[in-house]
Structure 1
Amino acid sequence: MNTYRHIYPSQIISSPSVTTQIVNFFDHLLRQCTLPEHCKQVHTQIVTTGGCQSAFLAARLINVYARLGLVFDAQKVFDSTQFQGTSNMLLWNAVLRANVSHGFYEKALKIYDKMRRLGVWADGFTLPLVIRACAFMGRFRLCKNVHSHVLQMGFQNHLHVVNELMGMYGKLGNMDYACQLFDKMSVRSYVSWNTLVSSYAFNYDCDGASEIFNRMELDGLEPNPVTWTSLLSSHARCGRGEKTMELFGMMRVRGIETTAEALAVVLSVCADVAVVDKGKKIHGYVVRGGFEEYLFVKNALICMYGKCGDVENAYKLFLVMQSKNLVSWNALISSYAESGLCDEAFAIFSQLDAHPVMTPNIISWSAVIQGFSSTGQGEKSLELFRQMQRAGVLPNCVTISSVLSVCAELAAINLGREIHGHVVRALMDSNILVGNGLINMYTKCGSFEEGHRVFENIDSKDLISWNTMIAGYGMHGLGENALRIFHRMVKTGFKPDNVTFIAVLSACSHGGLVTEGRLLFDQMIGVYGVKPQMEHYACMVDLLGRAGLLQEGSNIVKNMPMKPNACVWSALLNSCRMHKNTDIAEETATHIFNMNSEMAGSYMLMSNIYAASGRWEDSAKVRISAKAKGLRKIRGQSWIQVKNKVFIFSAGNTMQAGVELIHGILYGLVLQMESEGYVPNKEVIQENIDKELD
């Protein structure tokens, strides 16, 4: 701004070519503006010297204000000019670019509509901006209308316009239209090829991206770094991590310049597959290539280390960052939350909440809410959700899904219904993640009618939808309902996976459907091509054991193609307890104890089996053995929700308020049961004593 201090408009007012000199003078000053106050000072001088009569200067002012982030001021300049009814496209394009570049797409389209009503015809710079706005708006009909305008005005062969149209259809997911435009192009640029490759990447079609990449090479064009980055991105988005790393290696062998964007893509792959060694190698490329100053690369490194569980390195990177954005904070919060370090994640979240400039957004809130939810701290998760609502932050699909999961685990159906109401009002009920969360919540809470209604209202059910419905029926012993859903799923064209068979076999087990369970287990490989895993064998052992077919269950365990784990043996042991079979129980327990299993429940089961058969000395020995190994059985819990507050009951814990009233009610219930001829179950009493002693 030194020029501004030493040269004044008054010094050139008397010049014969005053208009041209003033325009050039202020244009020179505006180009040097780096702060909003500088731009506003120059703007004031332009107005006072009559320079505002220049459409060129008005356009330059709009561009500078937009560059400095002052879109409102840029719009005011445009609104105050006298050139709006003219075909001075420099001015129209400047205000369109200001709005589009800052995400004000609706406003940009209103300006374009005003242009057309005033009879101002768009040019080759206007249409790409309008098309870009349409693409981000995601309205197909609107996009088709603008495409029609392109044809009406004869821009169907304009390179930049057609490139933007291809990108628009790519964002809409209509690759057929994008390819038709590409094939009709008489002249193509690198942007044309790269737009098509990146469009395939955007639509998770790595095969399509590879096809265009290969076609580009066949046409004699060497793919540039942007093309390679798009190809890497396409494979990364499709979950083909190994192929992405292979392509990155090929890119380096060919001597293609590595870009910061390519490194960020590869780092995301390392994060997804949790391979910290490869991530550290890429970190080396970042340092040697001088990419450390790229903020999005640093953020990708934090994500990579965090998802690989190396929160220490993630935190070190965060600390040394000179400039941090909200993505940086969220990456670190997510790193701790996903590693199960919820208190640390919340501490970082609290620091962000106290930041003088930035505030937590929905991603920040979702990370801590999901973290506490996944570590079994549902009460804290719900408390944070309430705080988020009070802070005026609207939940997204991920947040809703996490909270619904907590509602399912805590059987908090009233809160679940409240969230369902919000989902409907926010038009989120068509989201498959939310729909599946609602099914899970309702079925786990035992409200099958509501769960089934949500299930039926999902237009595009995925495999998780079907599996969740099957599992919901199964856990409540409604095996026949679960089987009906399973067979309907198969008829619909869905192929069952491992999770499906765990759900349906478990449903058969809880519903006592032995014949049906046997048939499904036999059909797993032959009919459905699913190889039974450890969990499926555990389900079958449980199914046979509950039906009293202990010998058959024992034979399955002994003939398994893999070595049975403690869970499989424990399923058989539990069946032995149910049917008081001490012989098979002793043999089973021996296998479990020899595995040095830390499952305290197995020791308690065996102790109770001995106690039930009167072998008190053996029962005591098993308990002593468990205590010598430092094993403690996790106490059972139950809970109720009163006025949006969850109260948890656990054996051995004294309740602070209302305990006398509860004991009085329980005593009354015992007297009523005894008067009606109830005979106490001594095994249950013994188990309760165990919990109290533990």
Structure 2
Amino acid sequence: MFHKGISSSLIFRRHTHISSFSLSDIEHGLLVDFFHHLLQRAKTLRHCQQVHGQVLLTGSDNSAFLASRLVSHYARFGLLGDAQTVFETTPVCCISNSLLWNSYLRAIFSRGKHQDTLKIYCRMRNLGVAADGYTFPLVLRACGEMGVPNLCRFVHCHVLHGGLFHNIHVANELIGMYGKLSLMEDARKVFDRMLLRSHISWNTLISGYSTNYDCVGALGIFQLMEIQGVKPNVVTWTALLSSHARCKRYLETLRFYCEMRKTGIQTNAETLAVVISVCVDSGAVDKGEIIHGYVIKGGFVDYSFVNNSLICLYGRNGDTKTARGLFLETKHKKIETWNAMISSYAESGFCEEALAVFKELEMSDQEFPNVVSWTAVINGYVSNGRGEEALDLFRKMQHARVGVVANSVTISSLLSACADFSALRAGKEIHGHLVRAVMDCSTSLVGNGLINMYAKCGSLKESDYVFKRIECKDTISWNSMIAGYGSHGRGEIALYMFSKMIECGFEPDKVTFVAVLSACSHSGLVAEGLEKFDLMMREYDIAPGIEHYSCVVDLLGRAGLLQQANEFVRSMPIEPNEHIWSSLLLSCTRYKDVDVAVEGEVVSWVSSTSLGYESTPGNYMLLSNMYAANGRWEDSAKVRVSAKLKGLKKVPGWSSIEVEKQVYTFTAGNSLATGMNEVLKSLACHMKKKKKKTEEEGQQNMQVHIYPR
């Protein structure tokens, strides 16, 4: 009966037997101490309930101290309902005791009920119970988890009014709270006004900067700490390392780790995990192997998160054999260990091996695949151009024996696959899944994926629809729209989007200008493209990369300005690569201009491999066709013979079209598949109707509605 909660008969006996006891203050104090001692020794729920029963029978439940201990013990056993019963049935004489309130606040907060924690705090204030240095840390943590700045500042005012600002524990929690809200200026103000600081104060502020990707701020506090004579401990160093790792300052992270070891600070498992993750992300396997030695020497092998980092270190950098060995040596494999092995195979391109480990996990009795497991396998197939199989896995995921809900990373990966293969129907299927699952499509990650998918599939109207409904647009959102309009020859709308992007306060980046220049190239907007190229350097101080130069060469070449394109290539401050030469060759072929091709060294590039990259079979065919178009048959034949001697063979171009839920694929040079004639007739009829409808609507469908940032 006890294991189901507090017995109702105990509550009854509390009222029927209390009159039989008449205890002096000394005896009552001794009873309280005795029951407190018993509660300290209570190892099971049964023991705790038995002590509680005796507390009720002896009338000792009017002790706020014992009530607070009972609340804490029930909360420790996960019985929040019983803890609440103790709290609510405590005599009125105990209501003003802050210890009881603090125990109940801690019980609620520890179960993740942050909003309920704040409700109890408000109730406490309404009853006139004064909050103390133990109350505010709990309430401030709940505020930080809620993430509401105004609420946090409101409680901060209560701290000031209560005269507890200089309580070191309260001040530390204020710093942590503002750090979680990304309000580091407020966190710094609290820190600067502290009369007394502990290591926790310094570490909390550095961790706040780290969480908010501000390694400069973290380093500044670290240096200030040393100037003021406070010696950094291992937590301080770990926070500093983490801040630089988050900002992708990999070399500095490794340098600081070496400095830490020189100071004699003992490394802990968390520090090693950070350093190994840096080696993973930077591909520094050699340094990772050295850290692996520290792991073995320091006895950190049994720390699962360290071992998982080592699996990722080797697996994601191609050494799947060593990663597999570490995986097999792990005695108690948690889901994170399985996921590390699956993602290692997937990111190395071994999709079958990743799927095999995934199936092992499915057969396991201890762990089951979670959304990270499914997403890792799906990402592997998407990254290796196997989008259809990725979509099949997603459908299986929806019917898994253990309910798994796709997250934004899963959806983003699938939308990327649909975009790469122009699988509009599959993309709409995923969009429909988002709507049915009530998943927020207005977030930037999912929203940007939808914009990109619809744009690459030619559905610009749907792209614009999704774009308008993204609440927090970012630079990627704008870049996707500009690139989408540009790739479909809507250069003027792309430029309009670019101007609106700047008006809304967004700073264009390198990708933005690639999209803008490409849009100008596809629409023949030469003057506008050159103006934007100059704007990129003059106004935004962005140094052009090879992709920007390639866009300008393509812009001039498509417009027939071949001589100008040739001169532009010669004036480039960086060495032209295959993309530059291919773009110039394509333009020369389009306009049958052999002279510029020869003068611009395009011909010598095609036939030479001395520049460090091999020309593709397509370039040989372009050059051969250009010679043939100008009647230079002998040169055309020589180019084809040269390609043949090098063993180059052009892969035939192919196209696919989806008509009435059926995908038809046809290859250049091959006869039409059975039934294609009827399909083409049906498609021609559909295109005529579509053209007529577009002409009637005029430019109405091309209007773009922009919402401010």
TM-score (norm 1): 0.81
**Which AA in structure 2 matches 1:452?**
D
Q: Distance in 1 between matches of 2:34 and 2:56?
A: 7
Q: 1:396 aligns to what?
A: 407
2:418 pairs with one of 407, 416, 439 = 407
For the residue of structure 1 that corresponds to 2:364, the secondary structure is: coil
1:633 pairs with one of 641, 650, 661 = 650
Q: Distance in 1 between matches of 2:133 and 2:642?
A: 83
Cα deviation, residue 312, structure 1: 3.1
Q: 1:451 aligns to what?
A: 463
2:564 pairs with one of 523, 527, 552 = 552
**Which AA in structure 1 matches 2:549?**
Y
Q: Mark the CA change 1:219 to 1:282 in structure 2 (over 3 Å): closer, same or farther.
A: same
Q: Distance in 1 between matches of 2:293 and 2:282?
A: 19
1:651 pairs with one of 667, 682, 686 = 667
For the residue of structure 2 that corresponds to 1:660, the secondary structure is: coil
Q: Distance in 1 between matches of 2:397 and 2:346?
A: 17
Of 324-333 and 58-67, more deviation after overlay is shown by: 58-67
Describe the superposition over 1:391-423 as per-residue Cα deviations: whole angstroms up to 9, x where unpaired.
443333322322222232233445545655666
Q: 1:76 aligns to what?
A: 82
Q: 2:348 aligns to what?
A: 339
Q: 2:10 aligns to what?
A: none
Q: Distance in 1 between matches of 2:233 and 2:451?
A: 47
1:508 paired with 2:506, answer no
Q: Distance in 2 between matches of 1:62 and 1:427?
A: 38
For the residue of structure 2 that corresponds to 1:530, the secondary structure is: coil
Where in structure 2 are the equivalents of 1:283-362 lying within 5 Å? 283-362=292-371
Q: Distance in 2 between matches of 1:65 and 1:281?
A: 47
Q: Distance in 1 between matches of 2:481 and 2:525?
A: 18
Q: 2:604 aligns to what?
A: 590
1:101 pairs with one of 110, 119, 124 = 110
For the residue of structure 1 that corresponds to 2:663, the secondary structure is: strand
Q: 1:475 aligns to what?
A: 487
Q: 1:194 aligns to what?
A: 203
1:363 paired with 2:372, answer yes
For the residue of structure 1 that corresponds to 2:187, the secondary structure is: helix
Q: Distance in 2 between matches of 1:302 and 1:461?
A: 36
Where in structure 2 are the equivalents of 1:105-120 lying within 5 Å? 105-113=114-122, 115=124
Q: 1:241 aligns to what?
A: 250
1:567 paired with 2:576, answer no
Q: Is the 8 A contact 1:379 1:646 kept in 2?
A: no
**Which AA in structure 1 matches 2:568?**
I
Q: Distance in 1 between matches of 2:684 and 2:159?
A: 82
Q: Mark the CA change 1:491 to 1:41 in structure 2 (over 3 Å): closer, same or farther.
A: closer
Q: 2:273 aligns to what?
A: 264
Q: Is the 8 A contact 2:654 2:668 kept in 1?
A: no
Q: Distance in 1 between matches of 2:195 and 2:659?
A: 70
Q: Is the 8 A contact 1:576 1:585 kept in 2?
A: yes
Q: Is the 8 A contact 1:75 1:95 kept in 2?
A: no
Long gaps (5+) in structure 2: 1-26, 688-709
Where in structure 2 are the equivalents of 1:95-244 lying within 5 Å? 95-113=104-122, 115=124, 121-244=130-253
Q: Is the 8 A contact 1:216 1:222 kept in 2?
A: yes
Q: Distance in 2 between matches of 1:344 and 1:653?
A: 37
Cα deviation, residue 171, structure 1: 0.8
Q: 1:661 aligns to what?
A: 675
**Which AA in structure 1 matches 2:389?**
K
Q: Is the 8 A contact 2:35 2:55 kept in 1?
A: no
Q: Is the 8 A contact 1:639 1:646 kept in 2?
A: no
Cα deviation, residue 507, structure 1: 1.8
Q: Is the 8 A contact 1:408 1:445 kept in 2?
A: yes
**Which AA in structure 2 matches 1:174?**
L
Q: Mark the CA change 1:264 to 1:410 in structure 2 (over 3 Å): closer, same or farther.
A: same
- Aligned-pair identity in percent equals 51
Q: Distance in 1 between matches of 2:363 and 2:669?
A: 37
Q: 2:440 aligns to what?
A: 428
Cα deviation, residue 310, structure 1: 3.3
Q: Distance in 1 between matches of 2:392 and 2:196?
A: 59
Q: Is the 8 A contact 1:303 1:332 kept in 2?
A: yes
Long gaps (5+) in structure 1: 1-15, 34-38, 674-694
Q: Distance in 2 between matches of 1:138 and 1:75?
A: 27
Q: Distance in 2 between matches of 1:110 and 1:238?
A: 38
Cα deviation, residue 382, structure 1: 2.3
Q: 1:3 aligns to what?
A: none
Q: Distance in 2 between matches of 1:453 and 1:130?
A: 42
RMSD: 3.8
2:47 pairs with one of 42, 47, 51 = 42
Q: 1:679 aligns to what?
A: none
Of 45-54 and 181-190, more deviation after overlay is shown by: 45-54
Q: Mark the CA change 1:215 to 1:513 in structure 2 (over 3 Å): closer, same or farther.
A: same
Cα deviation, residue 122, structure 1: 4.2
Of 606-615 and 332-341, more deviation after overlay is shown by: 606-615
Of 528-537 and 157-166, more deviation after overlay is shown by: 528-537
1:533 pairs with one of 538, 545, 558 = 545
Q: Mark the CA change 1:490 to 1:667 in structure 2 (over 3 Å): closer, same or farther.
A: closer
Q: Distance in 2 between matches of 1:497 and 1:576?
A: 31
**Which AA in structure 2 matches 1:305?**
Y
Q: Is the 8 A contact 1:566 1:592 kept in 2?
A: no
Q: Is the 8 A contact 1:105 1:137 kept in 2?
A: yes
**Which AA in structure 1 matches 2:183?**
N
Cα deviation, residue 51, structure 1: 7.4
For the residue of structure 2 that corresponds to 1:292, the secondary structure is: coil
Cα deviation, residue 599, structure 1: 1.7
Q: Distance in 1 between matches of 2:673 and 2:141?
A: 65
Q: Mark the CA change 1:240 to 1:646 in structure 2 (over 3 Å): closer, same or farther.
A: farther
**Which AA in structure 1 matches 2:463?**
G
| Aligned length, in residue pairs | 645
Describe the superposition over 1:489-542 as per-residue Cα deviations: whole angstroms up to 9, x where unpaired.
456565544323322222222112233334444555445433333323322332
Q: Distance in 2 between matches of 1:325 and 1:128?
A: 33
Q: Mark the CA change 1:558 to 1:204 in structure 2 (over 3 Å): closer, same or farther.
A: closer
**Which AA in structure 1 matches 2:304?**
L
Describe the superposition over 1:51-101 as per-residue Cα deviations: whole angstroms up to 9, x where unpaired.
78667777666656655xx42x35435425643753465555445434433
**Which AA in structure 1 matches 2:541?**
G
Of 264-273 and 302-311, more deviation after overlay is shown by: 302-311
Q: Distance in 1 between matches of 2:126 and 2:577?
A: 75
Q: Distance in 1 between matches of 2:538 and 2:189?
A: 44
**Which AA in structure 1 matches 2:665?**
F
Q: Is the 8 A contact 2:553 2:568 kept in 1?
A: yes
Q: Distance in 1 between matches of 2:300 and 2:591?
A: 67
For the residue of structure 1 that corresponds to 2:338, the secondary structure is: helix
For the residue of structure 1 that corresponds to 2:665, the secondary structure is: strand
Q: Distance in 1 between matches of 2:645 and 2:251?
A: 47
**Which AA in structure 1 matches 2:675?**
L
Cα deviation, residue 225, structure 1: 1.8
Describe the superposition over 1:178-216 as per-residue Cα deviations: whole angstroms up to 9, x where unpaired.
233323333222222222221222222222222322333
Q: Is the 8 A contact 2:48 2:73 kept in 1?
A: no
**Which AA in structure 2 matches 1:478?**
R
Q: 1:689 aligns to what?
A: none
1:605 paired with 2:616, answer no
**Which AA in structure 1 matches 2:406?**
P
